[in-house]
Homo-oligomer: A and B are copies of this chain.
Amino acid sequence: MKNAILKKIEENTVVVGVIGLGYVGLPLAVTFARQGLNVLGFEKSQEKADKVNRGENYIGDITDEDLRSVVETKTLLATTDFSRIKECDAAIICVPTPLDKFKKPDMRFIEASCRDIGRFMTKGTFVSLESTTYPTTTEDFMLPILEEESGLSHGKDFWLAFSPERVDPGNEDYKTDNTPKVFGALDEDGKEVGLALYRKAIKHLYPVSSPRVAEMVKILENTYRLVNISLVNELALLSGKMDIDIWEVIDAAKSKPYGFQAFYPGPGIGGHCIPLDPFYLEHIAKKYDFDLTMIHTAGHIDTLMAHRMTIKITSALNQHKKALNGSKILFLGVAYKPNIDDARESPALKIMDEVVKKGGVVSYHDPFVAQAKTPDGNDFESVSFEHIKEADAVVVTTKHKNVDMIKVIQESKLIVDLCNSVETGTSSAFKL
């Protein structure tokens, strides 16, 4: 059975199923397909599946040409029919792992994928999860569902592994194929099959001894970032009070030639990874009677950022003898980081909600994001750049490179710069 799939991999006749065609799954599907492997992309959304099959790209990290070429040759085909999992030799899960409203892991997407795969997979299938989740998920959460739904036995009838995605949207240098990939399988055969498969598309694989180690690797990487951004945000707030320019401090600290990595303050932490993943670990830690105090504290800092940034805006308006209530506040940038079109977990949207609650007349401009819905459900459409002239305050929340900051400085009545876009050194809103 193992030799059968290894042979198919070698001969490029293996059929790879990718579950979820989002910012992880679609680039992975295209990367496999570009190597000549037949890829079936499974998507709940008919709209997304149709788009893929028309060759219409909706993910920034792949080129339109790359998608079109693999769709035209039918190497990649998207479908909403999960029963076609039975055609696949491998099933790679790339679904979201969000938090619910109480910041607990929402495992519904992984569970649904496992039920779909379990229901339809045949003997000799290799299954891999790429979604970030707490350690032990693969062994303790997925494995029982897969075995129960399929009636098959791991090791004998199928293999299971965890190999975390490392997608960094907007990164110019590292894409799916050239980012080293960590991989941990449940047994040796699964390791052999999984490595052979991934090696088709990924240049550097880094095998580890178990899925739980691989799960912890991804959480460590993102926890490291949460903790350090939270640290620097807290130091930025203190530095503001002490009349110290934190950006000058960080740039100077970077002159240390060892033992330092720079993180920069901002209006809060956004995106689908850094503000979420560490809480997956905090969740499972409780099962082991363990309190993760660093993650808890970092999360606490981040939770307060939107409120603290609203106070900065209020203080800035106050210097102009204006109240927040009734003032026109234009937010510049709602993407969670520069030069991408993704507003998930964007700190700007949280601040907008709080400003709306306090009576501010809110609008936003973002050349990458045409419309956005805030966590409170407020719907906004990006207004034209010219609106900055009318705003009582322009709040810079994302530092997009195609926004003319010189013009912003010239034409705005008041700038509240939350990410040092203006780079004047003294303009930092953290001093307000």
Contacts and interface: CB of A to CB of B under 8 A. Distances in A.
B227 A227 contact: yes
B293 A234 contact: yes
Contacts of A297: 293-294, 296-297
B182 A241 contact: no
A288 interface: yes
Contacts of A237: 290
A295 to B, nearest CB: 8
16 contacts: A208-B249, A209-B248, A212-B242, A212-B243, A213-B244, A216-B239, A217-B249, A220-B235, A221-B259, A227-B228, A227-B294, A234-B294, A238-B285, A238-B290, A242-B284, A242-B288
Given A220-B235, A223-B235, A297-B293, A204 B255 contact: yes
Interface in A193-234: 204, 206, 208-210, 212-214, 216-217, 220-221, 223-225, 227-228, 230-231, 234
Contact of A298 (B289, B290, B294): B294
A238 B216 CA distance: 11
B293 A213 contact: no
Among A210, A228, A238, A260, max chain B CB count under 10 A is at A238
A221 B256 contact: yes
A252 interface: yes
A292 B230 CA distance: 11
B245 A213 contact: yes
Contacts of A231: 223-224, 227, 294
Contacts of A221: 253, 256, 259-260
A141 interface: no
Given A217-B249, A257-B180, A258-B174, A234 B292 contact: yes
Nearest to A298: B294
Contacts of A168: 258-259
A374 B313 CA distance: 52
A69 interface: no
A259 B337 CA distance: 15
Interface residues of A, number: 67
A3 interface: no
A228 B221 CA distance: 12
A174 B213 CA distance: 35
A301 interface: yes
Contacts of A256: 166, 179-180, 221
Given A182-B252, A216-B235, A217-B249, 7 more contacts: A206-B255, A216-B239, A221-B256, A223-B231, A238-B292, A242-B284, A296-B297
Interface in A295-314: 296-298, 300-301
Nearest to A237: B290
Q: Which of A230, A258, A425 has the most CB of B within 10 A?
A: A258
A292 B298 CA distance: 11
Given A220-B235, A257-B174, A136 B298 contact: no
Contacts of A266: none
Contacts of A252: 182, 206, 208, 213-214, 217
A225 B259 contact: yes
Contact of A213 (B179, B249, B290): B249
Query: Which interface residue of A210, A234, A242, A284 has the most chain B CB atoms within 10 A?
Result: A242
A208 B260 contact: no
